[in-house]
Each structure stands twice: as C-alpha cells, then as structure tokens.
Structure 1
Amino acid sequence: MFKQSILLLVVLVLAACASPKNEENTTQDFTVNTAVDETLNFEQLRLYPVEADVDFIESQAGLANWITLEAALEKSRFRIVEKRPFGRFEDTNATNALMVENKTQDTVFLMAGDVVEGGNQDRMIAENRTIAPNSIKTIKVFCVERGRWNPRTTAEAGDAQRSIAFSGYYHVASSDLRRTMKATNNQQEVWKKVSEITTHHQATSDTDTYGALAASEAFNKLSKEYLDFFEGKMVSRSNVVGIVAVSGNRILGIDVFGHPNLFRAKYASLLHGYVTEAVTNGSAVNIQPEQLSSYLTQFYSLYHTKDEAKRFMYQNKMVHFTNLDF
C-alpha cells in the first residue's frame, strides 16, 4: 500500500510538471503599468503604457525595421489601388477589396482600422496584414465614404493610374468604428457608425466620408488639445509596446505591438483614433482600480487566443494584439 501511494505521488508530480503553465503567468511578455500618471491623463482620456520584458523585445528584433502603412504611402514604389474587375463589366466585390503593390525592400504592416483616402472611395483596412517586399496582395476593406464611386478630382479622373490609387492616409479609425467593423463585419453598419461620428462633430460632407472630420472646425479644435497634450508622451520610453486607453469608467481599447519601434511608428495615428472616441462618447475618467484590474485579467487571459482579429501573428512572432470588447 505504501509503495502504491509513493507511485501515485510520483505520477501526480510528473503530471503537474507536464501540465501547461497558468496562462496568466505566460502572458508576461509585457505588463500594463497601472500607476496613475497625470502626464498621461487629460480630461476625458487616460493612457496606461504597456511595458515589454527585455527578453520579449530581443526575441522580436525582426520586427524592429518594419514600416507602417502611413510611412509606406510616402514611397513611390508602394501603392494601394482599386481592385481591377478582370474583364467583368461590374465587380460587386469592388467596394470591399483593394490591391496592395509593394515593390520596396520594406516589410509593411497594415493595421485593421487604418483609413486610406483616394481611389473611388475612402476605405478602412479590415484586417491586420503583413505585406512582404516585392509582393502584390489583395486586402479586405470597408468603405468609409458612402456617397462616392469615382475619382475625387477631374485631374485624377484623366489619369488612369492616379484615378485608382490611394495617396492619402487618415489615421487609425476611432475605437468605436473599429469595434463596429470587427463585431458586425457589415458594410451597412460601418456606414451607419461613420455617419454617427461625423454628424456628432458637424463634419458632414457631400460624400459622407469619415475623413470629413479633418475639415470640421469644432472637431479639430477639441481634438487638437488632446493630441498636443499626448504628443510624444510614449515615444521616449524604450520598453513601451502599446497602450490601454480609458475614458469614464470603461476601457476604450488595448493595442499592443510586437516591438517598441512598431508601436512608436503607430502611436500618433493610433492616438488620433482614441482621441476621436474620447471626444465623441467619452466622459471624465473615473475608473476604479478594481474595475481596471478586472479588465486587465480579461486582457491577459485573451493574449493566447487564436483569433487573428485580436492576436495577429507572422512567422511565429506576435505583431499586433488588440481588444476592443469591454
């Protein structure tokens, strides 16, 4: 009996050693610094930095030189164009697909929520994508300009290449618009949300474009205060790979990137999206520590998800993690 008990104990110990580690412990590639930092708190928006472990940063060194969509669009050998109908008179899928041509030597990261301007109508990138050097890819998008299906200017219309190309970049969309896109995967719902946001800020236009926010005096005056306050606040921190954005008593979203360089490259446009949400639907920050802790427990538990809409991987490297479902 004694020998049987010893044998059982050995089996249990071996089983315990073979069991996977608690997921909460294995998510500590990075942690959220939950200390309230008044330099990261302005009216209806507070940011918490996501700080990466040194070993994690070193293991992700391959992402250090990737460039973002906004940087790629500045290069002559990179472009996004309307998807060609390939001989069909009408392509009913044209609204929700674009072609990306990357003839550079750079690896380009496209983030779900990036808004591009031009072509036949402005679009929002629907999925995280990695565009390798010297490659051509079809990407999924949603229209954020309901009332246009033609080149924006006469000059563009007369130039076959310019008429189908996207030359402008308008930040990352608000977290509310990104959330709608991810939750519904529905073009009508995306248009509805665009209308809600632009109407709120009196940013109406003939074509109902999300980019009309740029021409709204009221929106620009309000958002500029936030953007100026938070400008550069994260880029000097060498181990920061993301942010948690809070307004009122709720988390607007969490975005974490695979390397500090990639985060720094996305920070300004990502901030614009969170500022848009804060000035549209936000309120004075009053989140309680226990609420924040509960939200972050959910975040840590989701880190190992296989859902690419949340955790985007490339060649076994984590490129971007996001959660907007709070």
Structure 2
Amino acid sequence: MKNYSILIVITLLVIISCKKNKEQTTQIPNEADVKELAMGPYVLSQITSKENLQVFAITGKDEIKKEYITLDIALKEKKVEVRETSNVNELRIDNNSEDTIFIHSGDIVKGGKQDRTVANDVIIKPNAKNVPLASFCVEQGRWSPRKGERSDKFEENSKMLSSKKLKLAARYDSNQQKVWEKVSEEQSKLNNNLSSRTGNKVDVTENESASSLQLTLESNELKKVKKELQESVIKGLKNKDNVIGYAYAINGKVYGVDIYNSKKLFKDLTPKITESIVTEAIVESNDSIPTKAKIVDVKHFIEQSKMIEDSNKTKKINETTELNIRETKEGYLTFSSIDKDQKKWIHKNYLKKEKENKKSTTVLSTQRRR
C-alpha cells in the first residue's frame, strides 16, 4: 500500500510538470518583442522607431475604388479655386474639373487675407461650384496679401495641422482662440527645440508674418532637422504592401490613428501626413531618454475608442460628405468621414481628448478678425 501511494504521488507530479511545460511552450511572447499584430481585418506593424517617434503601418483591404484627387494636387493642376470670403471661419471652393476632390481635415491653404486650415474632411463633386468650407485662421494680424500672393484666393496646400492639440482645437472644440493659442505654443516649442538641436538660436517666426503657422512650417531650420526622420517614415510605409493607414506614438504615448478606405488616397496624402507627425515629434522632444510604446498599446487605443459612448453625433458637411463623431466616457474620439455617394466611410481618425487644467475659452465670433 505504501509503495502504491508513492507511485500515485510521482504520477501526479509528472502530470503537473508536463502541464507546466506545455503552458510554457504555448506562452504568448513578451509584448515588447511583438512587431506585428492582427486586429480584425487589419494588421499593425511597427515600421519606424527613431528618436522619440514611433510609426506603425496599418495594412488591410480597402473598399472604395473611386479615385479622389487631393487638394494639393488639385491646386497645382488648377482643377479647383479656393476663394477668400473675408470671413475667418468660411471659405468657398469651385471644382472646375471632372474629378472628385478630397480635402483632408487640417489641410492648410496659403494666401488670401490670412492662412486658413479646413476644419473637416470634405468631398467635392465634379464641377461643384461655390461650396462652403468651414475654416479656422492659423495666422493673426495680417489682412492684406503677402508679396506675390493674391488677397482673393489661395493657391497652395503643402502643409497640414502639425499637432493633435491643433487638430482637437479646430475639429473638436471648434474654437478659434484655442487654434491661435496652440499655434503660438507650437512656435515657442519649436524655437527652443530647434535651437537646442542645432546649437544656434532659431526663431521660426522671423518671416513676413510672424504669427503664420504655414510660414513656421516652411522654416529652413525645421526642414533640415526633420528631413532624415521623415525619410525614414516614408521608406517604412513604402516597404509595406496594402498600407491603408498608420498610428504614431511620441515619447512612448500613442498620439493618434488614421485609417483610409482607399489605398491610393492614403498614398497621395503620405507626404503631408508624415511631415505633420515628424514636426509634432520635434515639437514634443525633450532631454529625457524617450520611452517606447508597444504595438499592443496601439491596439488598446483603437479598442478604447469602441467602448461605451458618452456621445455620438452626425453632421452634414455638404451634400456629398457626412461626419460622425463618437466620444467615449474616457475621452476617446472617433471621427468617421462618410462618402454619401459611396455609402461608405472614407477616413477614420482616432484621437484622445487633452485634459484641461483651466476652463475652455469661449468660441470667438465668426466675424472677420484682423
């Protein structure tokens, strides 16, 4: 009987040991080592981790085969005319072509009486005329044309809003004062960080219009500093097949996610997008050793945006474009732009609200401000 009891104990120990070994062999790899992760119909892959910036590619199938022309291309090819209205918060656009134009939220148009940013994604039908564009001023003080520019229209779109704070101020808060505050804040940080990086005193406001975000983003010092980092991001995106979006993290924190339902549209937007996030990384750089986000943090960011909602509203942008804004109780936001003709979403933007330490400033009047 004694030998029989010992045999039972030994057998149980062997079974437990085998079970532990099996669990160890099927254990999920350390999260820090995961470089690619499936997420529903998409796959997340880290493509760049340089300085304080990480960029993740989102690959998958697109559903819209319709071709869109981006605003920068449309302006270069004289397909559209963006006109001044002398109202800071509204512009007008004529589409003089047979093409469908896609204007990206945060696109900056240069010229007119003041440089503006377009608040939301807007789809412009072929030959559509006099279409209103909700806008915000990204420049203060000027109310006359700069040298070589016209006061009645805008002829260039090479930049877009370069921080999530600016995007939230324009797209979520719809607050002109906040937009101006965030432009000034970004200029101040760029001066400090570019001076630190180059070893020379840099002032990105030393130009024809000191308050212009557009002219700040054209700074030669900024171009030099961001060149290598931007090339790294673009190369990483080009090396992946079926890329339809991206996510990015700065200083170890996920800042935003964008997914497009057209691979070609995303490809055409890539130069402006990558320049925007690289600029933001430079703005937010500091002397500390940057921490790194994990790919599961990106997945968590997207999943949090699908949690119990605090609000969900849809608004008509124009006859072709609809915008759905979903906000969770934790402040995660999803902006879904819908092509009403296609009856499908074309762009989804995921952001998280900033915590406010003071009461939000009131929305300024939409009347002309000098």
- Cα distance in 2 for partners of 1:165, 1:226 equals 33
Larger CA deviation: 70-79 vs 132-141: 70-79
Alignment map for 1:204-219 (pairs within 5 Å)? 204=205, 205=207, 206-219=209-222
Which structure has the larger Rg over C-alpha atoms? 2
Instruction: Tell me, yes or no, if structure 1 residue 128 matches structure 2 residue 118.
Output: no
Instruction: Tell me, yes or no, if structure 1 residue 164 matches structure 2 residue 191.
Output: no
Deviation (angstroms), 1:298: 1.8
Instruction: Tell me, yes or no, if structure 1 residue 52 matches structure 2 residue 60.
Output: yes
Percent pairwise identity: 27
Deviation (angstroms), 1:238: 3.7
Deviation (angstroms), 1:285: 4.4
What SS class does the counterpart of residue 312 from structure 1 fall into? strand
Larger CA deviation: 219-228 vs 247-256: 219-228
Deviation (angstroms), 1:296: 2.7
For 2:264, the equivalent position in structure 1 comes to 261
Deviation (angstroms), 1:299: 4.0
Per-residue CA shift, 1:175-216, capped at 9, x if unaligned? Answer: 331122223211111011111112222311434000122443
Deviation (angstroms), 1:150: 1.1
For 1:113, the equivalent position in structure 2 comes to 106
The residue type paired with residue 101 of structure 2 is V
Q: Is the 8 A contact 2:258 2:347 kept in 1?
A: yes
**Structure 2 unpaired stretches of 5+:** 1-38, 191-202, 315-322, 326-334, 354-370
- Cα distance in 2 for partners of 1:292, 1:320 equals 18
How many residues are aligned here? 274
Q: Is the 8 A contact 2:115 2:139 kept in 1?
A: yes
Instruction: Tell me, yes or no, if structure 1 residue 203 matches structure 2 residue 192.
Output: no
Deviation (angstroms), 1:32: 4.2
Q: Please state which structure has a larger fraction of its residues in helix.
A: 1
- Cα distance in 2 for partners of 1:227, 1:71 equals 20
Alignment map for 1:310-325 (pairs within 5 Å)? 310-315=335-340, 316-325=343-352
Counterpart among 141, 144, 147 of residue 150 in structure 1: 144
Counterpart among 213, 223, 227 of residue 226 in structure 2: 223
Cα 1:290–1:52 change in 2 (3 A) is closer
Larger CA deviation: 219-228 vs 287-296: 287-296
**Structure 1 unpaired stretches of 5+:** 1-26, 84-90, 157-161
- Cα distance in 2 for partners of 1:78, 1:320 equals 22
Q: Is the 8 A contact 1:68 1:108 kept in 2?
A: yes
The residue type paired with residue 154 of structure 2 is F
What SS class does the counterpart of residue 146 from structure 2 fall into? coil
- Cα distance in 2 for partners of 1:278, 1:75 equals 32
- Cα distance in 1 for partners of 2:180, 2:305 equals 29
Cα 1:289–1:258 change in 2 (3 A) is closer
Cα 1:133–1:287 change in 2 (3 A) is same
Aligned-CA RMSD value: 2.3
Any runs of at least 4 consecutive aligned residues in structure 1 with deviations exceeding 6 A, and if so which?
none
Deviation (angstroms), 1:166: 0.6
For 1:277, the equivalent position in structure 2 comes to 280
Alignment map for 1:75-114 (pairs within 5 Å)? 75-83=77-85, 94-114=87-107
For 1:237, the equivalent position in structure 2 comes to 240
Larger CA deviation: 225-234 vs 70-79: 225-234
Counterpart among 28, 46, 49 of residue 41 in structure 1: 49
For 1:61, the equivalent position in structure 2 comes to 65
Q: Please state which structure has a larger fraction of its residues in strand.
A: 2
For 2:163, the equivalent position in structure 1 comes to 175
- Cα distance in 1 for partners of 2:222, 2:107 equals 19
Cα 1:289–1:50 change in 2 (3 A) is closer
TM value normalised by structure 2: 0.68
For 2:11, the equivalent position in structure 1 comes to none
Instruction: Tell me, yes or no, if structure 1 residue 294 matches structure 2 residue 319.
Output: no
- Cα distance in 1 for partners of 2:295, 2:269 equals 28
Q: Is the 8 A contact 1:147 1:207 kept in 2?
A: no
